[in-house]
Structure 1
Amino acid sequence: MKKNTLLVFWLLGIFGYLQSQSYIGFLSDNYSGVNAVISNPANINSSPYKLDINLGGVSAFASNDYFGVNVFKALKDGYDFNLEATRSPLNDNRATGNVDVLGPSFMFSLSQNSTLALFTRARFFINANEINGETIASIDDDTTNDFTVDEDDFNGVGHAWAEFGVAYATTILNKNNRKLKGGISLKYLKGLASAYAFGEDVTFNYDADGTDLGGGQTTGSFTSSGTLNLARFDEFDADNYDYKSPNNASGFALDIGVSYQWHPDDLNTNTYKFKLGLSVTDIGFINYKNGVREVYNITNTNVSEEDYENSESINEFLNNFYTRLDGRTGYKIDLPSALNFNLDWNFRKNLFLNFNVDMPLISTDRITANRIANIVSLTPRYESKWFSFYLPFSVVQRNGFRMGAGFRAGPIYAGSGSLISAFASNNNQQADVYAGVKVPIYKNLPKDKDEDGIVDKLDNCPEIFGPKDNGGCPWGDTDEDGILDNEDACPEDAGPIENKGCPWKDTDGDGVLDKDDNCVEEAGTIPNNGCPEGEVTEEIQNNLNAFARTILFDSGTAMIKPESNTILMEIVQILKTYPSAGFTIEGHTDSTGGEDLNRELSEARANSVKDFLVKNGIDANRLLTVGYGESKPIFSNITNYGRARNRRVEINLID
């Protein structure tokens, strides 16, 4: 009775919380072809395929948040599930399983900017929601055959249906390196099976020996209370049930989406830098016009298990032992409407990083609705014409982190959103897998050997990657100045990078480049930074000599006295004002001493003055020194006054 009751409990309860994105990883591939219609119909446009035929693909998923296993250990012989599986009882444990089948489907290009797809799809999922973990533990307890269910409220929906759809996508905007695409899918829905149930204040106590059959034999009995609401498309629980597709179970649905792409190089290629996608899927419902809805008060005590076993169906059992409060014909099941956001970044040739968010648009309080879970995924991938590889990382609502892997190799695609995490975790609570086969027929695109976005017949350098602005050739450096021609303002004249590759001008032709010329429009001299110099006037000459004659030396030596430094610096400033003028520094003595000695002393003193001037910034080539000794007196050497005036230094302009 325990296992049978557990099965009935799941089936009565309680279905309905879809938790997985189908074909995770593969749908982000630009070569997913007609499969892309599942997440965003706009993505089938600008496909690399002329025709894409999906022969068949299936994606399956199972998840719970109560039991956890180590997959490696579980696959080995001798694994004891009851002893080794982890258990995580909550007040609202859930479990789910779903299958998504993409049947024969076709996608073909109508033109360069429009695409049409025809597709078939079958979808099924079943869940248990809001299940008290203590209930599962009680049923799972092998130490006793008795168990207790105390569920309060629970709800769910299970559903299987087929889709026959047509999708159309077109380019809305295509300019300025930006492309905007839009797409829409219209789907006819055929209901295959459905049931939903929800309970209010439900309790259920099973006593394995509660009914005395006489002769020492017993059977189970159960006592229950609360309200149970059930809806079903057919009496599928009857012993002689033979499945038939339900009549009058159909509907329509709509998917709509847009996609924005930024192509930094060429809009005529499929190589984008960024792609943003936004879509709303599964807007619609299926009307089960012949379906049955019933409400029961399940309050009763000591109901025999034998009565349950002898009933032809659960419906018969409920009607015989409980109070039917309401019964109606017909109900609707809403599809799992969702908002899908996608960001794809082509960060390097053939390498992409995809960020995806799927959000439900159906409230959790809506009993007659399928609903997806929130899922956020980040998928790096390698993508090429005949091969792609995906490594999705995802966080799923209520199931946490998972990591998977997938690939596309020619006509085959396969993968899983949780393959790696399933084997790496000691408490894995989910698993999914997908696989399929397709026939891809690529567009007859013009060849582009160097893949620079310029077809070979229009490419001046078909085997070397180059920009469109240079005819498909890499930029050269004609003047060999180290600056590529596309950045060189003077590509045929070598010049520095500071002047954008152009040689510096000399507007006034004075030999001083404009960048260094303080007088660009007026010819000058190099020493005067390109500006013209003034003439050394007689007045300037007199001032120089007036300063020079006051230079003091230690007696009988060429050592300049420190108090003369101020005078010498005045001379320096005058000479710097006339940077191209040359001067002689003349040394003179009085007649005291020998003639040869006086000449040597006068030369030494002239050189001491020159050394000071050079040390303070005067070009040595502008200065000549000469020692006249006593040969050029300006006063009589007879008197002390005259001799003092004859001991002098003069600085004169060289004509």
Structure 2
Amino acid sequence: MKKNQLLILSLLFWLPLISFSQTGHGFGFDNYNGIYGVTTNPANSVQSKYRWHINGISYHQIGIADYGAIDYFDLETNPNAFNGLNFSENIDQSSNTNFMVADSDIMLPSVLYNISNNHSVSLILRSRAFSDYTGFNGQLFSALNSNFDNTEEASFNSTINNTTNHWKEVGLNYALVLVNSNYHFVKIGGTAKYLMGSKAVEARGTISGSYTPGASGNVTITDLDLTYLSTTETNLPNEPKKFYSTAFGNFDNNGTGYGGDIGLVYEWRPRETNRVDVRSNAGAVNTYKLKISAAILDIGQITYEHMANIEPKRGVGLNQLINTNGSTVSVEKNEIIDNGLINALKNNPNVSPNPQQGKVTFVLPQTLNIGLDYIIFNDKSYYLNINYIKSLTKNNDLYTNSRLDLITLTPRYETQKFSLYLPITYEQGSSDVYAGFGLRYGPLTIGSAALSSIVMDGKMKHVYVGLNLPLFQDIFR
């Protein structure tokens, strides 16, 4: 008893010293997560407690901002460096170091099948979108997102560092058991992915200027040095589209590529928890005291390619160097509202765009996912979990997104038909602590890692919901 209490106190002590958490479809550590757990570690599919697990539809979205919040369900049909997200009106206008990250992941109809206790396969369809913005001026972005509906004249001097990537993927997963002894259990798995790029944007540079409020107010650009690449047509309307229409539409291969995930799970099964009699099916019950998992996720890249001597089409990488050549440029506010800042600048006679068409490759936001799951007091219904995610890409790397380093501490109650999660999240950047809630009941999974932030309209937003058909393994042979 004292050892268990000491472990819990130690974990609570570590919490403020480490980064904050991110979760996927449901919580990837539930022993009954089924096909949702395959996205966080591809080894999870084998001995997943299900003979079949069929996902109908699930939605996961996490948004983090140092000041303000991010809209849940609107995605721009034609993202660029300034409209990939719907920003809150509460952007910190006095700061030149704002950041925002949004990760949207929709799992389409998918299926997991356990061939036997030692082998499993899964087919997973996902529609994903990722945007990150770092180091931007709050004054500029606040004005752009409010259509310059401000009462005071203002100036801005902003760094631009943005990557937005929308893609769909078809994943084929296989996992197998390597070791299954009295006290030790090891399984490995991998998911091979075919990637279909919908659209991608990369913008790096600086912009300085000011704007004057009022119906006829203009935006004055005093300095502009921007490298801007878009794989979509520049004349598409910048209208928001709901996540469900984005998920089920636009399977055009504007870009293609290959990728994958790889993972491993180890379970320590001492005598006090390994109580499986001869009639029991070990794949249907939990027998471990401690489970350790590790996975590398989102290995791969998407290439948008234009063949020489072929008429440019949608999907061609259009790389443009845009600058003012040291002169001052005045841009009408209404033109920016109607066409977006990038198009308004490129159409201005005093701006010098230098378009270059050709092949461009975007790298997926590769991450390391490590988890520890511990049964409390040898009771198979009460667990304590730590999940850590480490980004393997950096926010200043070209043509790739970067996740924040995250960790979650989650006590949970778990049975075959019902699970309850209480995640605690710590954000290193602001030292904020978030409390969440999650629930799995039959075919429904729903929850948030930052429910307290949602209620108080805080800086971190997270929600997930999943509807599935679970067909369990037989407990008895």
1:339 maps to 2:368: yes
Q: Is the contact between residue 24 and residue 392 of structure 1 (CA under 8 Å) also seen in structure 2?
A: no
Q: Which residue of 1 aligns with 2:288?
A: 272
Shift of 1:307: 8.8
C-alpha spacing 1:368/1:411, structure 2 compared with 1 (3 Å): same
For residues 388-403 of structure 1, what are the structure 2 equivalents within 5 Å? Answer: 388-398=419-429, 400-403=432-435
For residues 466-477 of structure 1, what are the structure 2 equivalents within 5 Å? Answer: none
1:383 maps to 2:414: yes
Q: Is the contact between residue 59 and residue 435 of structure 1 (CA under 8 Å) also seen in structure 2?
A: yes
For residues 429-578 of structure 1, what are the structure 2 equivalents within 5 Å? Answer: 429-446=459-476
Q: Is the contact between residue 31 and residue 47 of structure 1 (CA under 8 Å) also seen in structure 2?
A: yes
- Measured on the aligned residues, the alpha-carbon RMSD in Å equals 3.1
Identity of aligned residues (%): 29
From the two aligned structures, give the one with the greater helix fraction: 1
C-alpha spacing 1:245/1:38, structure 2 compared with 1 (3 Å): closer
C-alpha spacing 1:248/1:127, structure 2 compared with 1 (3 Å): closer
Q: Of 149, 152, 157, which aligns to 2:156?
A: 149
Q: Of 419, 425, 447, which aligns to 1:415?
A: 447
1:27 maps to 2:28: yes
Shift of 1:49: 0.6
Give, as a single letter, the amino acid of the residue that structure 2 aligns with 1:387.
F
Q: Which residue of 2 aligns with 1:234?
A: 232
Residue segments in structure 2 that go unaligned for 5+ positions in a row: 1-19, 71-87, 242-248, 277-281, 306-315
Give, as a single letter, the amino acid of the residue that structure 2 aligns with 1:342.
G
Query: Quick one: distance in 2 between partners of 1:378 and 1:150?
Result: 39
Greater RCO, CA 8 A, separation 6+: 2
Q: Is the contact between residue 178 and residue 186 of structure 2 (CA under 8 Å) also seen in structure 1?
A: yes
Query: Quick one: distance in 1 between partners of 2:436 and 2:337?
Result: 47
Give, as a single letter, the amino acid of the residue that structure 2 aligns with 1:174.
N
Q: Is the contact between residue 278 and residue 340 of structure 1 (CA under 8 Å) also seen in structure 2?
A: yes
C-alpha spacing 1:94/1:112, structure 2 compared with 1 (3 Å): same
Q: What is the TM-score of this pair, normalised by structure 1?
A: 0.57
Q: Secondary structure at the match of 2:36?
A: helix
Residue segments in structure 1 that go unaligned for 5+ positions in a row: 1-18, 70-80, 210-216, 448-655
Q: Which residue of 1 aligns with 2:297?
A: 281
Q: Of 368, 371, 390, which aligns to 1:359?
A: 390
Q: Rg bigger for which structure?
A: 1
Bigger mean CA deviation after superposition, 305-314 or 316-325:
305-314
Q: Which residue of 2 aligns with 1:349?
A: 380
1:330 maps to 2:337: no
Give, as a single letter, the amino acid of the residue that structure 2 aligns with 1:293.
N
Give, as a single letter, the amino acid of the residue that structure 1 aligns with 2:290.
F
Q: Is the contact between residue 38 and residue 44 of structure 2 (CA under 8 Å) also seen in structure 1?
A: yes
Q: Secondary structure at the match of 2:95?
A: coil
Q: Is the contact between residue 63 and residue 69 of structure 2 (CA under 8 Å) also seen in structure 1?
A: no
C-alpha spacing 1:173/1:205, structure 2 compared with 1 (3 Å): same
Query: Quick one: distance in 1 between partners of 2:446 and 2:405?
Result: 23
From the two aligned structures, give the one with the greater strand fraction: 2
Query: Quick one: distance in 1 between partners of 2:415 and 2:334?
Result: 64
Q: Secondary structure at the match of 2:212?
A: strand
Q: Secondary structure at the match of 1:27?
A: coil
Q: Which residue of 2 aligns with 1:483?
A: none
Q: Which residue of 1 aligns with 2:165?
A: 159
Query: Quick one: distance in 2 between partners of 1:405 and 1:144?
Result: 41
Q: Is the contact between residue 50 and residue 108 of structure 1 (CA under 8 Å) also seen in structure 2?
A: yes
Q: Which residue of 1 aligns with 2:97?
A: 92
Q: Is the contact between residue 395 and residue 401 of structure 2 (CA under 8 Å) also seen in structure 1?
A: no
C-alpha spacing 1:56/1:309, structure 2 compared with 1 (3 Å): closer
Query: Quick one: distance in 1 between partners of 2:112 and 2:250?
Result: 32
Query: Quick one: distance in 2 between partners of 1:51 and 1:24?
Result: 17
Q: Is the contact between residue 386 and residue 408 of structure 2 (CA under 8 Å) also seen in structure 1?
A: yes
